[in-house]
Each structure stands twice: as C-alpha cells, then as structure tokens.
Structure 1
Amino acid sequence: MRRLINIKNGVVTLLSAAVIAGLAACEADPVETMRGNLPDDELLENTNVLIRSQYSSVERAVVRLTEGTGTTFDPIYCQLTRPAEKAVTVKAVSDESKVAEYNSTYGTEFLTMPATNVEIADNGQFSIPAGNKTSEKIKVTFKADGLTAGNYLAPISISSEEVAPSENGGTLFYAVKVRGLEVGDYELDTENTTVFYVNTSDYSPLLADVWVISKEDLMSPDMPTVWQKTYGNIVNLRTVQIGYDEATGRAQLILNSDIRYVLEHADLHIRPLQDKGRKVCLSIEGGNTGLGFCNLTDTQIADFVAQVKACLDLYELDGVNLFDRNAGYGQVEGMPAMNTTSYPKLIKAMREAMPDKLLTLADYEEPTEYFWDTEATGGIEVGKYLDYAWSGYMSENEDVQILDPWGVIDQDEGEMNGMVFPVNNHPRKPIAGLEQSQYGAFAVPFYSVSSSFNTEAIGTLNLWVWRMLGWSANNMLMFGDLITNIQGEYEGQWGAIIGMALTVFEPDGMDGTYMYGVYISHNPNGNVFDPNVPALYYGDYTKDW
C-alpha cells in the first residue's frame, strides 16, 4: 500500500483550458477561444500565409514554465489570406535569429529561448488542401530543461515554396515566462498528514499554502520557538462533479468555471503548493443529476476514469478525492437505483488506471456504509485500492464527529476522563482492506463565533481525550472548507478553529508546557491586503477572477 510521498521536482506549469475542453468530460461550461476569423491582407495578386497560436489572434502569445524539467505546449496553425488554388505546404521552425531584432524594435530585453527547448510536431510541416484557407493544428512543445527563471522569446517562423509569408504574420513570437520554484520559508510538516479542502468558487487554492504553526516553549524564561512548520499535506480542490449527458448517456467530469480558471492558471494557483511538497487533488462529488458513483454501468466507469486520468495528466495534478454527496440518487426520474458494486468497481478502475496518483475517499453516508462487506461489493476489498480514507462528516450543524469503525472507544473509560457521549452520530464499519492507520476518524468544520459547537467545544475536548487515551491510530488531521477572515459571524475563526484543533491534537498541547500558535506566511501571488502582516485580513485570498 502506498503512502503520501514528497512531490516530484520540476512540476510543469500552465496548460490552457481549451485543451481540456476537448475532453468529453468538460463539455459543460465551455471556454471559447478568442481566435475568430483573421482579416485578409490587402488584396494582392499573390496569396500570403501567416502563423498563429490557437489562443491568440495576433502574432504574439504567452506560455509559462517552471524551471527544472517542466513542459507545456500550445496548438499552432497556418492560415492563408484566401482559399488555396492548389495544395499548399508550409514549414515552421524555431527561429532564434529573430530575438535580437524583436528586442531592438520594441525595446524589450527577452532572453533567447534555445531552439533545442522548442519542439514542433510533425517536423513543423503544415498542409493546406486546395480550396481551404486554414491548416490543421499541430502542437509546439516548450521545455524548461536547463533554463533559469526569466522571460524568454521563442520566435517560430514559416516558409513555403507555394506562398509568401504575410508581412506581419510570418513569425509567431512566444513569450516563455519561466518561474522559479517557490519553496517558501518553512518546511512542510511531515509528522502529521493534514488535509485541507478549498472551494474555488470562493477562494484561490493559495489559501491552503499559507498556514504556519509555531511551537513555543513556555517553560523557559525566554520562551524560545521550538519549531515553525507549514501545514496542509493534501489539498482537495472543489467544485468538481460527476455529471450526466442525456443525449449520449455518458457520465461526465464537470469542471465549473472557477476550477477551470484555476487549472488554466496553475502556475499562479497550484504550482506554488506543489513546490513545497503538497499534493493537490481534485475532489469529485455528485451533481444532483441522479447519477453518481453508486449507479454507473461498466461502460460509464471506464469512460469516466479515462476523463479523470486525462485531466490529471494534462494539468499535472497529484490525485483524486472521491466524496459521494449531492448525487441526487432516487430524485431524478429515469435514473437507475443505487447498487453496491458500482462504487467499488470505480475505485478499483481508478487505481488501475492511475497507479502513481493519490486516491482518497471521504467515508460518508449510504454510498460507503457497505464497504466492509465484500459480498456486497462483488468481492472487491475497496481499501486495497486507496491511499487514505477519512470522515466526510464536516458539517457546521453538528459537533466534531469522531468515527469509530474499529470499535476502540470505551465509553466507560472515556466518560471517566471527561468525554461527552455520544462522540458521533454516524456508526461506521471498517472498510475492507484498509488499515486503521490509513483512516482519518474526524474532520473539523469552521464554526461561526456564536455556534454552540464553537463556544462549548465539546467535540474539540472529546478529541483531546481521544488522543490522550491512545485511541487515535495515526496523525491524520482533516479540516472542512478553508475560510479567510470574514467580517461578522466568522471573524477570526480562520485561526481560532485550526489553533484549537492543533492544541488538542498535539500530545503536549494541553499540559501547559508548550503553546501552539497559528500564523500566516503570505504567498506572493495572493491578492492580500497587507503581505507583511502574519494574519488574514478581510477577504484575503478570495478569488480575483
């Protein structure tokens, strides 16, 4: 069974959303390109040809890379000023000679992108059939091998024996912006496995990149800092859904406009997290269509898994969190009933298709309550295909729930040490094939200031007793959707909730010897009010797109 590992170095950067829009999974909420029809040159006797990026209507385009071994690509095409009278062949090459001319003309200071770092598919050959104006698209790949951080220019020029390049369209100038790794000032904590959720409809994922925990020694007169670490080993991005296409009967991976924007701009919103060793995953849930993980056909499973894999590979994400909620089972006419084999088959197929990706599960309600029973699951031991599973109960409408699938909590001993029962309202059984050390038994919601679950803190104190009595099988610490500082009922709760949870979670947090403080180390890419203050102001890291 695999465990959480450090992320590989040299992650790749931004890949455009129009590529993933080509996946069947992303047909909903399409992102249109800006291209449109290009204007003809002045009417001349001869036909001319120009080269363009699919995502730019002019002779300039921008791509981004991360220094190291990162790669990215862009589709390019050629277009004639009028339909070809006969077949036309055009050749494209990386043209370093144009960089000095460009810098001189425009007063820029671009570095030269080595031609060896630019690969044009099909040997740079375009074909335009007679009667057509536009070629098929081919892919140009940019590689960061050997490059340091900086702005590079990668001109791509065209030539043809049949037609002349247009005056302003014979070269496509790519600005290749190479960013350095953002390792930050603090090491990522590896003694605990901390899990965050980020709803991209509200926040940038950078909100998960800024949490610093400081351990202070209160027994020494000078009260020294023992250590400072950043938290958030696994970051699950929402909202991603499983949808249903009535016309084709397909299960589809639905990326809403916010998560799609984040993926398109991964160099700003995702790569800084991965640079520090965080695993960034998609959290997939139901879309209220009546179709979910529990009523898929084998054909739908195979198709859906392929869509998920393509998305993760394209955007260099680290894994998937399956959270079967809001599917709308039994609420949509004509949709099949839930069964007990579909979800286990999906999990098995996910692992087999993506053995190198993190695969996690939120244990929540009916969709997972039978995972202990291999007869019900068709002989599949679900836990053998998972890296981790954890409690999906993170509602503000109930106290912190400590799930006890293995039955280790003794009520008499617990009450004698101050526990208040019941410690959970959701009886669960062990997931077959999953070790107890892989199971996160609780998740902490972000309660409002006046919530009784916050003021009385019974669930939080139960956590302390549970840990003190040795009933916790691991160091997994889960939180619900992260929040920033919000004026009103949630003011200050961004730090208070995490601070309290850590105080009761750490073995020495309640004995008066040490104090655990929560601080913010701002990410330079974030939209924040004051980057020099180690706290969150109102609205810090809210989405700015």
Structure 2
Amino acid sequence: MKFNTIYTLCLAAFAMTACSEDIDLGGVGTENIEFPQGGVVYVTDAQGKRNFSTVEFRDHITSELNIHTQTPRATATAVKFQYDENVLTEYNRKNNTQYKALPANLVQFANDGVVTLEAGKTLAIAEYTLTSDGSLDQTETYVLPVRASVSSGDAQLGSVDATRLIYVRDLSGIPDCTKYVPGPDGELVPGVTVFSCMEVNDTNPLNNLSFTLGNEGVNKGKCLYDALIIFSANVNFNKETGRVYVFCNENVQALLDYRDKYLKPLQDRGIKIILGLLGNHDGSGLCNLSDATARDFAQECKALADAYGLDGFFFDDEYSDYGQYNLHLYYPGFVPVSNDATSRLVYEIKKANPDRITVAYAYGGTWSLKEVDGVQAGEYCDYALHDYGGSSDLTSQYPGMPKSNQGMHSQEFNQGRFASEYGLNDMVQKGYGSHMIFAMDPYRSNVSRQLDAMDRCARCFYGDKIVFDGIKYPKDWK
C-alpha cells in the first residue's frame, strides 16, 4: 500500500493547526532549575527526567517515580500519586491532540500510590506496575495520566510536578531486540544499544534482519541492531512558499511508501525506525531556523511520523550551505546560525513527538545542545552518537544524558573504519551503552571485514557471537 494520500491528509491537518498555541507539556523543568530552599519537593522518572517519560513493556513491568528535594528536610513529607484521566483530557484539549488513556485497570501503584520522603533524606521512590491484558494496540502509544499531591507534611510540591503524562506502549507479542547482560549484582540488565545508520540510496534496510546473536541463552536469535536510522531525509527551503519542509529523495520515499515491505518487518522484530534529518545545500538546516519556523517544522515531522509509523528522528548537521546563502538576511523565519537555534529545533520536535526517540549526531552544529525553556538537553534529546572513532564523554555537551545513551566508537563500514576490540571493551567497562554502525551492506566487497566487526560487537557487548543467515536483500525498488 502507498502512503502518499495518508501523508497528504496529515499535512493538511498540520497546516490547519500549525498556528495554534504552543504545546503544553503539563510540567516543564529539570534538575538544573533553582528551587526555593527548604519547602519544595519535585518528581522525576526512573531515568531522572521531569518531562518526556516513556515506558515500553511486554507482559508487565515495574517502574518508578522519584521524589527529590534539594536539601534534606527536617520533617517527613508524604506524596500521593494517583491515576487521573482529567490530566490527559485537559492536555488533549489544550493541544488539539487525541492521545488515549492507558486503561486504569492496567496500572497498580504500590502502597496505594503513597511514598514518604523521610526526614533527613533527599530521595524517595514510588513504584508502579503495568500489566498487559492483551487489549492494547501494539502500534499505538497510550498515556498514563498521573496527578501528585502532598498528603502529609509541610513541604510543597513544585507546580510543574503536580501532573505528568507517561507515554506507554504495550509490545506484548512483539520480539524484543534488547540484549541482556549480567549486572553488578548478577541480575540481567540491558546491554549496549546498536544503531544501524544505513545509506538507503543503495542498500535495502531488510539486511538488518540477517544478523543475529547465536549463543544459547536469553539473547539467542535476537537481532544485533536495535534501531535503523534511515539516512536520510533532508531539511529544505521553498523560496516560493517561504516554507522549510522535509524532503525525501526517491529512495527514502520508496521505503516510506512501501513501509509494509521494507520497514514493518524490522519493527515486527523489535527494531526501531528512525528518520534522519540532514541539510541539503540550499542554506536551510538544523541550525538557522527561527523559533516559529522550528515549531512549524516540528509539526510537519509529527505528521510524517504519524503517517509512516516512524519511531523517531536523527539530527545530523551536514551539507547546509549556511554561509553561501545567509538566508536570515533575506527571508523571514531564519536566524543566524547558532547552537540556540539547533537546540530549539530538537526540543520542538521532541515536544511535538514526546513518545518518539530523538538522536543527535555529535558533530557540527549538533556537537552539543543547550537548555531550552528550562529543559536540559538530556531530557529532550534521548541519544547522542559520536562521529567515527570518537569516545570522549558527552555529558557536558548534553547535560542530563546518562552514559548509557552516549554512543562511542562509531564505525563506517564502507570506508573500512572499524572499531577495535580494545575500544569496544573500554566503552563497556566505562558504562557507555550506545554504538553506531554506518553503511553496513553485505553486498560490498569487504563483507568479511564487516562480519568480523559485527562479531566483535557481539562478543564485547554481550559475550556472544554473530550469526549471518546468508540472506542478502538487494535494492529492488526503482
């Protein structure tokens, strides 16, 4: 089935709503905000985020909400969390969205949702459990709407923490790409996340299905790759209409139009589909859009993701001829190139797609991102992937991003830039949990070296081995 009609309808809906009020996230802020001393407690999720909380689960999962205070309290404070569908109803009304509430019977708060921050402590943990009953659509995102209130004690709850939306997907029945390794206490924990950034002008993405892990155990048969980055759609500017838009060349568009053939089989195995966004030599790009243009562009990205079932976006600041065109001097909607503009665009795309993944290529204008509207970079940007061979810590460039989401020692298979066993082991030992491989293609002449490189990944990341099933998928679209 072709999806051009769906996308056109989505864009029409986008055009009608693009000038509406900004999306209200129902609580904006980060741990970097200066809270009044002595009387305020605030809430984060298990990843330390105050915004953009997402949970994916199969069968059931126990997660947590954390209560924090800047300084220890002299007296205990109890906070109660409860399911409140009115929180989502109000959000949908304000933002013209149609998210569905996670059914209340699928969530259970421990201790009836009450957690106590004891005197002298700065942290308390409230657990909740989600349990599948088989009724949820695996392709749809639901929202767990939560209201929080202080039930005892004299502390105050930050106003932005009184409500939160947790975006939930029930993936029961869909294979899981997550590979598990023994944690410090012997328990199984998620291992390294591997991104396949694929040049799709000449490579079929179905090739990502051909490489799995082979040892007996929990990871046997799981795909090596956790996510496909389609490289790449483009940021383009139409001088006649004055609009910045997403351009897909004939190869990218073919994969989207025929997603059931080229993309859905990957998602059915648990692989995420992420669309790259890249400059295209016309002066527009990730780093020179005004705030209003960024919001407009973000809504188009949402329409695109909704139409084609995308799981996220990848930001790569290359091939934008900013200096040659200086668009900000001649056209409204542009600003001088700045990291502020780059950060704003990534933030607005995450804001419009809170349930989708955002990934930055730590290169050029996306080498670092700044706080936007009180939200630190590590909250609105989920992953940062180094340029080839890079291995320096990225925390200062993406404040708030955990090491597990920082990608080290990226490889470029077409150019023969392979990571060493020492480098891969070193990143694991230091706690870095993400990795990118660019241009994997079993049709290239160096396929044996590619297989060796993937086997090193399997060995260093998971103590496993790679299995190539021998199936190669040619480029078979026009």
State the SS of the aligned residue for 1:355. Answer: coil
1:542 aligns to 2:475 (yes or no): yes
Judged with a 3 Å threshold, the aligned counterparts in structure 2 of structure 1 residues 263 and 200 are, in CA distance, closer, same or farther, namely same
Equivalent residues of 2:316, 2:366 under 8 A apart: no
1:242 aligns to 2:241 (yes or no): no
Q: Which amino acid is the alignment partner of residue 446 of structure 1?
A: F
Q: Which amino acid is the alignment partner of residue 423 of structure 2?
A: L
Which residue of 1 is the match for residue 286 of structure 2?
Answer: 293
Separation of aligned partners in 1, 2:310 and 2:475? 22
State the SS of the aligned residue for 2:465. Answer: strand
Post-superposition offset of 1:249: 2.3
State the SS of the aligned residue for 1:341. Answer: helix
Show CA shifts across 1:54-87 (max 9, x none): xxxxxxxxxxxxxxxxxxxxxxxxxxxxxxxxxx
Which residue of 2 is the match for residue 519 of structure 1?
Answer: 467
Show CA shifts across 1:277-303 (max 9, x none): 221111111111121111101221121
Alignment map for 1:215-230 (pairs within 5 Å) = 215=215, 227-230=220-223
Alignment map for 1:419-438 (pairs within 5 Å) = 429-438=396-405
Separation of aligned partners in 1, 2:218 and 2:360? 36
Post-superposition offset of 1:328: 2.1
Q: Which amino acid is the alignment partner of residue 356 of structure 1?
A: D
**Given the alignment, which residue of 283, 307, 314 partners 2:307?**
314
Equivalent residues of 1:381, 1:432 under 8 A apart: yes
Equivalent residues of 1:463, 1:505 under 8 A apart: no
Q: Which amino acid is the alignment partner of residue 465 of structure 2?
A: G
Which residue of 2 is the match for residue 17 of structure 1?
Answer: 4
Of structures 1 and 2, the larger Rg is shown by 1
Q: Which amino acid is the alignment partner of residue 436 of structure 2?
A: M
Which residue of 1 is the match for residue 196 of structure 2?
Answer: 196
Post-superposition offset of 1:320: 1.2
1:476 aligns to 2:434 (yes or no): yes
Identity %: 19
Show CA shifts across 1:12-66 (max 9, x none): xx452244356769xxxxxxxxxxxxxxxxxxxxxxxxxxxxxxxxxxxxxxxxx
TM-score by length of 2: 0.57
Which residue of 1 is the match for residue 272 of structure 2?
Answer: 279
Equivalent residues of 1:240, 1:256 under 8 A apart: yes
Structure 1: gaps spanning 5 or more residues: 1-13, 26-144, 146-180, 217-223, 395-399, 407-428, 509-515, 521-533
Equivalent residues of 1:499, 1:518 under 8 A apart: yes
Separation of aligned partners in 1, 2:241 and 2:10? 15
Post-superposition offset of 1:463: 0.9
Equivalent residues of 2:362, 2:368 under 8 A apart: no
Judged with a 3 Å threshold, the aligned counterparts in structure 2 of structure 1 residues 432 and 484 are, in CA distance, closer, same or farther, namely same
Post-superposition offset of 1:338: 0.8
Judged with a 3 Å threshold, the aligned counterparts in structure 2 of structure 1 residues 370 and 485 are, in CA distance, closer, same or farther, namely closer
Alignment map for 1:63-102 (pairs within 5 Å) = none
Which residue of 2 is the match for residue 492 of structure 1?
Answer: 448
Equivalent residues of 1:239, 1:283 under 8 A apart: yes
Separation of aligned partners in 2, 1:465 and 1:16? 43
Which residue of 2 is the match for residue 463 of structure 1?
Answer: 423
Show CA shifts across 1:206-226 (max 9, x none): 12222112237xxxxxxx998
State the SS of the aligned residue for 2:202. Answer: coil
Deviation larger for 432-441 or 258-267: 432-441
1:403 aligns to 2:370 (yes or no): no
Alignment map for 1:344-383 (pairs within 5 Å) = 344-365=343-364, 367-371=365-369, 374=371, 380-383=375-378
Judged with a 3 Å threshold, the aligned counterparts in structure 2 of structure 1 residues 182 and 325 are, in CA distance, closer, same or farther, namely farther
Equivalent residues of 2:200, 2:252 under 8 A apart: yes
Post-superposition offset of 1:501: 3.1
Equivalent residues of 2:236, 2:279 under 8 A apart: yes
Judged with a 3 Å threshold, the aligned counterparts in structure 2 of structure 1 residues 491 and 227 are, in CA distance, closer, same or farther, namely closer
| Structure with the higher helix share, 1 or 2 | 2
Post-superposition offset of 1:493: 3.2
Q: Which amino acid is the alignment partner of residue 432 of structure 1?
A: P
State the SS of the aligned residue for 1:276. Answer: coil
**Given the alignment, which residue of 250, 253, 259 partners 1:266?**
259
Separation of aligned partners in 2, 1:182 and 1:356? 20
Which residue of 1 is the match for residue 214 of structure 2?
Answer: 214
TM-score by length of 1: 0.50
Separation of aligned partners in 1, 2:292 and 2:268? 37
Q: Which amino acid is the alignment partner of residue 494 of structure 1?
A: Q
**Given the alignment, which residue of 402, 408, 429 partners 1:441?**
408
Post-superposition offset of 1:333: 5.0
Which residue of 1 is the match for residue 161 of structure 2?
Answer: none
Equivalent residues of 1:207, 1:484 under 8 A apart: yes
Q: Which amino acid is the alignment partner of residue 496 of structure 1?
A: D
Q: Structure 1: which 4+ aligned runs deviate by more than 6 Å? A: 22-25, 181-184
Post-superposition offset of 1:378: 7.4
How many aligned residue pairs are there?
Answer: 305
State the SS of the aligned residue for 1:331. Answer: helix
Judged with a 3 Å threshold, the aligned counterparts in structure 2 of structure 1 residues 229 and 283 are, in CA distance, closer, same or farther, namely same
Equivalent residues of 1:485, 1:494 under 8 A apart: no
Judged with a 3 Å threshold, the aligned counterparts in structure 2 of structure 1 residues 305 and 435 are, in CA distance, closer, same or farther, namely same
Separation of aligned partners in 1, 2:261 and 2:298? 27
Judged with a 3 Å threshold, the aligned counterparts in structure 2 of structure 1 residues 253 and 464 are, in CA distance, closer, same or farther, namely closer
Separation of aligned partners in 2, 1:447 and 1:358? 26
Equivalent residues of 1:200, 1:543 under 8 A apart: no
Deviation larger for 316-325 or 331-340: 331-340
Equivalent residues of 2:359, 2:382 under 8 A apart: yes
Judged with a 3 Å threshold, the aligned counterparts in structure 2 of structure 1 residues 230 and 519 are, in CA distance, closer, same or farther, namely same
Separation of aligned partners in 2, 1:226 and 1:430? 33
Q: Which amino acid is the alignment partner of residue 360 of structure 2?
A: L
Judged with a 3 Å threshold, the aligned counterparts in structure 2 of structure 1 residues 447 and 263 are, in CA distance, closer, same or farther, namely closer
Separation of aligned partners in 1, 2:327 and 2:414? 38
